A and B are shown apart, each in its own frame.
Chain A
């Protein structure tokens, strides 16, 4: 087996102090292989977003380590982690988080421009990805002129354009209707299968999680179960939902 792209050891995050302390994550060990599409599920407050934030270098753990592509993020300073986010990670958020004053093309090109790429080159690559996600006809539209599903596609193109090692998706369909949600889930599947990108997705929606290769179940900050899916096209959604009920959604 090749080296994992992500590996956490005894990852722990405690919020607050003393009697008010809350263990959001409690000694999580998780490994993700290159090209793998992993979904993290669990009831509200189980620590799934915290896990995503720690792996994405958006937050620092109380203890434990996070290895990304051979580097221990916990040993790096803010500037170094920022550079890694820029070069090796792509983010997809629940609320899309596009810059309202930039158009679709400019939004998708943003991480590459931030990384110092020539604007013309950045825009060319952004355009390619926007076309791949089906937005070739919406390049100059601003976020306010796009539907929720379209905005999320821009965010996906943005996450992919800089060719990152890992794509982190935080409830990517949380703000979409069910049709758009299915479309986005299918797109994520395509990203993994066709374009061989690694994806770590946090979701509470069983239908969306059923597009992943593997589902990790969290409860009270600990991994309580793992399931490897066979079909990976949403067909096993019911089984995933049952599992969630089992662990107490």
Chain B
């Protein structure tokens, strides 16, 4: 084997525990990045394909910007445009199927979780797309309750030509007779159920409406096609856009955000890993000065030395990355297993296996191996500067008591002041910049603060260790190398800052959200569609259902939600139609601005809207403003009267108007969510069985006990937050390794000093205490800075949430600080174990002879 590899493997093998701990950091980083990305993109893709209606192979697809249905008269305007050869209108609606709807078996997840109901004009549609019927016939003018489906869909449902396909629709369960079969669907995306336009309008409770216009053009030439497109848009006005229907873009943004957060976390873990590698290599070089010097004396060039060190890094990087990839895959599969049932329940998404792309593998490898090798570079370079002589007569531990409260300290003070100032701006960008400045400030200021902090903590330790002088020695040892002490303490700082920050943000978020959740979902019963918050993709129910529910004995209030999509100031907004009266009774919204009583009253008869915080922040509107809202009937002006939030829509841009106006302006009469209160003395069992009987015709809905739902969600919150804390703790572990390394270097460099201490009468216990004191002071410095940085970043995080429009109260993370202090002390003590033993066991004569 090559010399580099032989030496690297032997040295690594000689320090198995350290090698394992160092490699662990890389494993962890690669695992998070790789694992997350094995399913996140698939997840997003599945979501997108499901949310997008299949556009087919037409030249132009035109929809309303709001995604809502519109009057077919638009068709004539489009047909009149020069260059449009044919145009046809259709009505498409995604029908989310309830869980186990297809196979009825809870043991296996359904392969199909949603279908697209597409209402077409048969003659016109066949001019646009060549539908290839493999069995039976195509739809004909005047067909009622007839459908054409693909062979794959027929197989999933176990039906054939002439059989009945039953779908949950706005008018309850509806039967369709299969009259024709299309070939298997090969492309990803939802299966389509073709029906006549009139049938689709009936099933979706949208009489006389279409929501898509498909058109073909007379030219294949790019410039000409663009010109026709522009002319079409000019003809139909700015309420329309060219492009397929999209739904759930708000949720998609959330998923993408989560992906970035996890990527950031993985990267942070890798950077920490890199930091430990850096730190470990510094230790390695301190330990091997003699070996390296001897190699130089024997004629090893500087390049040889550099490669020797880098090869070790490379091996650790490769092993760490390989393990990380394997564990990442398992982690991905495990997480998927964990979240799939939840995703099926709330978002109607099924992702079964993690997907590995060559690009992902390559990126993970480059990051894992790259960061390891990069971290080894500086120590490797410093190793090349070891002269043969230095190694044969190693110098003693350096002392650098130079004055450090110089320019960098004061630059740090200035940055800190600016960063604190940014807290008051309330702007996301400034807050983000502030966080960077704050961390920079601490790094600049820390070396100058090491001495005073060491002295402070040393006095505390003196009290603890009853004046045997070890605390002073420890303080002196740290103060003489403030640079190194800072580097080590900074790992602890970063780790604990993350813990304190997370504690601050999470406790604030959790408290606020649980409060809002209790309020907005606190009714006795909830009747929920398959997909929460992505209301547009749900099939609701005609008002009949709510009326039936109201008639159940014991029911006091039934409050429903209706949904329409729109745009305000070019932002996609979900409009929720509420019944002001029942909303007031159930007290479902958490108001941050505006008087609830007055607002609910005004909503009954005026175009008045309540907006949520996210919308207020995104669109820059506030109570008192008048806003223009795009509706299928044209533009309408609404007055914004209050800012309030409910739990389900807290993260998406949402506005609440009364059901009267959602019907007048958006033509929506479909209820998609129900909240019900019953009389305190009602027979719950009877009520529930009455509800179940009514809901039999509406399998898309699920009856849920409101209190239980809130409790379950609160538990989910707790579990997620616990997971976050565990992740934070994982990030803290590398700092422990870094601290062990620094202490070990200190012991190696001071072998002779320790020998001398022992020779003049220090007992083993005192030597152990000296090292323990050093560790405790180091971790105290890291903890102090970590808490400071964490408090700032946590406060900043809460402010950032506020700036995004979430109603937030800042909770001081007292428990987080206690945890950070506990972790700090524990790590300090743990880090000292090995080096302290090493120092105490030194043979006095050997140590004194050590040069």
By a CB distance below 8 angstroms, the chain A residues around B296 are 82
Q: When the two chains form their complex, are residues B298 and A111 in contact, meaning their CB atoms are under 8 A apart?
A: yes
By a CB distance below 8 angstroms, the chain B residues around A59 are 387, 389
- CB within 8 Å of B: which A76-100 residues: 78-79, 82-87, 89, 91, 93, 95, 97, 99-100
How far is A99 from B291 in the complex, measured between Cα atoms in Å?
A: 6
* Number of interface residues, chain B, beta carbon within 8 A: 23
Q: When the two chains form their complex, are residues B298 and A114 in contact, meaning their CB atoms are under 8 A apart?
A: yes
- CB within 8 Å of B: which A14-68 residues: 53, 56, 58-59
User: B303 — nearest CB in chain A belongs to which residue?
Assistant: A79
Which of the listed residues B13, B296, B299, B304 has the most CB atoms from chain A within 10 Å of its own CB?
B299
User: B14 — nearest CB in chain A belongs to which residue?
Assistant: A101
Closest chain B CB from A110 CB (angstroms) = 6
Of B14, B299, B387, which one neighbours A114 at CB under 8 angstroms? B299
By a CB distance below 8 angstroms, the chain B residues around A238 are none
Given contacts A58-B388, A99-B294, contact A78 B14 (CB under 8 A): no
Closest chain A CB from B624 CB (angstroms) = 77
User: B7 — nearest CB in chain A belongs to which residue?
Assistant: A101
Is A213 positioned at the interface, with any CB of B under 8 Å from its CB?
no
Of B10, B13, B299, B304, which one neighbours A102 at CB under 8 angstroms? B10
Given contacts A93-B294, A99-B291, contact A53 B7 (CB under 8 A): no
Q: When the two chains form their complex, are residues B298 and A85 in contact, meaning their CB atoms are under 8 A apart?
A: yes
Is A235 positioned at the interface, with any CB of B under 8 Å from its CB?
no
Closest chain A CB from B316 CB (angstroms) = 16
- CB within 8 Å of A: which B366-423 residues: 387-389, 392
Is B726 positioned at the interface, with any CB of A under 8 Å from its CB?
no
How far is A172 from B298 in the complex, measured between Cα atoms in Å?
A: 16
By a CB distance below 8 angstroms, the chain A residues around B11 are 101
By a CB distance below 8 angstroms, the chain A residues around B302 are 78-79, 82
Q: When the two chains form their complex, are residues B7 and A93 in contact, meaning their CB atoms are under 8 A apart?
A: no
By a CB distance below 8 angstroms, the chain A residues around B752 are none
Q: When the two chains form their complex, are residues B3 and A53 in contact, meaning their CB atoms are under 8 A apart?
A: no
Closest chain B CB from A162 CB (angstroms) = 8
Of A91, A106, A113, which one neighbours B297 at CB under 8 angstroms? A91
User: B290 — nearest CB in chain A belongs to which residue?
Assistant: A97
User: B8 — nearest CB in chain A belongs to which residue?
Assistant: A101
Is B300 positioned at the interface, with any CB of A under 8 Å from its CB?
yes
Is B6 positioned at the interface, with any CB of A under 8 Å from its CB?
yes
Which of the listed residues B7, B290, B297 has the most CB atoms from chain A within 10 Å of its own CB?
B297
Q: When the two chains form their complex, are residues A99 and B7 in contact, meaning their CB atoms are under 8 A apart?
A: yes
How far is A99 from B294 in the complex, measured between Cα atoms in Å?
A: 8
Is B724 positioned at the interface, with any CB of A under 8 Å from its CB?
no
Is B301 positioned at the interface, with any CB of A under 8 Å from its CB?
yes
Is B295 positioned at the interface, with any CB of A under 8 Å from its CB?
yes
By a CB distance below 8 angstroms, the chain B residues around A249 are none
By a CB distance below 8 angstroms, the chain A residues around B13 are 101
Of B7, B14, B291, B300, which one neighbours A82 at CB under 8 angstroms? B300
Q: When the two chains form their complex, are residues A102 and B388 in contact, meaning their CB atoms are under 8 A apart?
A: no
Is A115 positioned at the interface, with any CB of B under 8 Å from its CB?
yes
Closest chain A CB from B285 CB (angstroms) = 15
Q: When the two chains form their complex, are residues A101 and B301 in contact, meaning their CB atoms are under 8 A apart?
A: no
By a CB distance below 8 angstroms, the chain A residues around B290 are 95, 97
Q: When the two chains form their complex, are residues B301 and A79 in contact, meaning their CB atoms are under 8 A apart?
A: yes
Of B6, B294, B299, B388, which one neighbours A106 at CB under 8 angstroms? B6
Q: When the two chains form their complex, are residues B299 and A85 in contact, meaning their CB atoms are under 8 A apart?
A: yes
How far is A86 from B299 in the complex, measured between Cα atoms in Å?
A: 4
Of A89, A93, A114, which one neighbours B3 at CB under 8 angstroms? A114
Q: When the two chains form their complex, are residues B3 and A113 in contact, meaning their CB atoms are under 8 A apart?
A: yes
By a CB distance below 8 angstroms, the chain B residues around A110 are 3, 295, 298
Given contacts A82-B299, A85-B297, A86-B298, contact A114 B291 (CB under 8 A): no
How far is A111 from B389 in the complex, measured between Cα atoms in Å?
A: 18
By a CB distance below 8 angstroms, the chain B residues around A111 are 298-299
By a CB distance below 8 angstroms, the chain B residues around A56 are 297
Closest chain B CB from A39 CB (angstroms) = 19
Q: When the two chains form their complex, are residues B294 and A102 in contact, meaning their CB atoms are under 8 A apart?
A: no
How far is A23 from B387 in the complex, measured between Cα atoms in Å?
A: 21
- CB within 8 Å of B: which A126-157 residues: none
How far is A59 from B293 in the complex, measured between Cα atoms in Å?
A: 12
How far is A100 from B299 in the complex, measured between Cα atoms in Å?
A: 18
How far is A95 from B290 in the complex, measured between Cα atoms in Å?
A: 10
Interface flags for B91-130 (1: CB within 8 Å of A; 0: not) read: 0000000000000000000000000000000000000000
Interface flags for B1-41 (1: CB within 8 Å of A; 0: not) read: 00100110011011000000000000000000000000000
How far is A95 from B296 in the complex, measured between Cα atoms in Å?
A: 16
Closest chain A CB from B170 CB (angstroms) = 76
Q: When the two chains form their complex, are residues A102 and B297 in contact, meaning their CB atoms are under 8 A apart?
A: no
By a CB distance below 8 angstroms, the chain B residues around A106 are 6
Q: When the two chains form their complex, are residues A87 and B299 in contact, meaning their CB atoms are under 8 A apart?
A: yes
Which of the listed residues B291, B304, B388 has the most CB atoms from chain A within 10 Å of its own CB?
B388
Q: When the two chains form their complex, are residues A58 and B299 in contact, meaning their CB atoms are under 8 A apart?
A: no
Q: A93-B294, A97-B291, A106-B6 are in contact. List 10 more A-B contacts (CB 8 A).
A: A53-B389, A58-B389, A87-B299, A93-B297, A99-B294, A101-B7, A101-B13, A111-B299, A115-B299, A170-B392
Which A residues have a C-beta under 8 Å from some C-beta of B?
53, 56, 58-59, 78-79, 82-87, 89, 91, 93, 95, 97, 99-102, 106, 110-111, 113-115, 119, 158, 170
List 17 A-B pairs, Cβ < 8 Å. A58-B389, A58-B392, A59-B387, A79-B301, A84-B299, A85-B297, A86-B299, A91-B297, A97-B291, A99-B294, A99-B295, A101-B7, A101-B14, A111-B298, A114-B298, A114-B299, A119-B3
